[in-house]
């Protein structure tokens, strides 16, 4: 499993930048074939891990959670659709992760392609920028929790932790951050719902659901304040800090 996870993490920047040529010359002048049956099987098997890595170990998690909360707060049901939300999350995640992917590609994947680094060396080198990014958002409490669960020795610094500990801690921290942002998003729209419900009940409009009246007001408010620009801009800026 560790081998497959390694290959999946190394393939991520390669997909963003360039595909590896099937045959190349190493630094010693020897021809190295990347299309050996075993390597092809490992790479194809690692493709099954790439969606999980992308969804869980990138800002995609926070972005999609926040956008789903926003849709529920607006009361627009299926607008934007799930496909649109996933597309927004995917491209924003690629934008945020591009510097990290570039570092992994330059310092890990290219030496591995050229034959100047082994898979283990590429893993160690490539995991450093990934760890640095994940540790910026992983809470110390979550890191301590998964360190105890994994029964790993206490590290001197967080960078000494394994990705098998950092990634779950990052996921838990991002879920909490996404829910916190979602709760804040709900508050102004909840106030509109309460006001509309109070007015409709006071005038005796019990047959008309308050949500039918409050939905246009919530959408209008969101458009007037340029909500998409504010929300997406704040999300992306918070991930760059």
- Reported as a single tens digit per residue, the pLDDT across 141-161 is 888 888 888 887 787 777 778
Whether the pLDDT of residue 30 is over 60: the answer is: no
Mean pLDDT across the chain, nearest whole number? 77
Which of 225, 239, 230, 218 is closest to 79 using CA atoms? 218
Q: Which residues contact 14 (CB under 8 A, 6 or more apart)?
A: 20, 105, 109
Nearest to 60, CA basis, from 84, 17, 92, 99: 92
Judging by beta carbons within 10 Å of its beta carbon (0-12, 13-18, 19+), is residue 63 exposed, middle or buried? buried
Confidence of residue 172 (pLDDT cuts 50, 70, 90): very high
Q: Which helix (H) or strand (E) holds 51?
A: helix 50-56
pTM given for the model: 0.75
Strands (E), the chain: 23-25, 31-33
pLDDT at residue number 9: 47
Mean pLDDT across 84-100: 89
Residue with tokens 């392609």: 113
Q: Which residues contact 131 (CB under 8 A, 6 or more apart)?
A: 159, 161, 163, 166
67 closest CA partner among 172, 169, 173, 179: 179
Among all chains, which residue has been given the structure tokens 């170990």? 57
What value does the mean pLDDT take over residues 206-235? 82
Question: pLDDT at position 64, please?
Answer: 92
**107 contacts: CB under 8 Å, gap ≥ 6:** 125, 126, 129
Would you say residue 21 has pLDDT above 80?
A: no
């Amino acid at each position: 499993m560790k081998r497959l996870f390694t290959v999946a993490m190394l393939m991520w920047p390669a997909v963003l930048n360039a595909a590896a040529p099937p045959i190349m010359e190493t630094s010693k002048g020897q021809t190295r074939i990347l299309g050996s049956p075993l390597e092809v099987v490992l790479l194809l098997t690692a493709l099954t891990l790439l969606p999980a890595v992308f969804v869980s170990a990138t800002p995609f998690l926070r972005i999609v959670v926040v956008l789903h909360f926003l849709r529920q707060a607006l009361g627009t049901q299926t607008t934007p659709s799930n496909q649109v939300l996933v597309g927004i999350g995917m491209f924003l995640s690629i934008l945020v992760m591009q510097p990290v992917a570039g570092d992994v590609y330059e310092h890990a994947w290219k030496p591995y392609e050229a034959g100047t680094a082994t898979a283990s060396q590429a893993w160690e080198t490539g995991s450093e920028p990934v760890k640095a990014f994940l540790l910026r958002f992983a809470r110390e409490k979550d890191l301590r929790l998964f360190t105890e669960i994994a029964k790993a020795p206490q590290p001197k610094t967080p960078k000494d932790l394994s990705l098998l500990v950092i990634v779950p801690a990052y996921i838990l921290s991002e879920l909490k951050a996404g829910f916190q942002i979602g709760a804040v998003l709900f508050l102004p729209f909840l106030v509109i719902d309460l006001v509309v419900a109070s007015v409709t009940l006071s005038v005796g409009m019990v047959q008309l659901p308050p949500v039918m009246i409050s939905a246009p007001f919530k959408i209008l408010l969101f458009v007037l304040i340029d909500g998409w620009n504010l929300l997406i801009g704040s999300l992306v800026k918070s991930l760059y800090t």
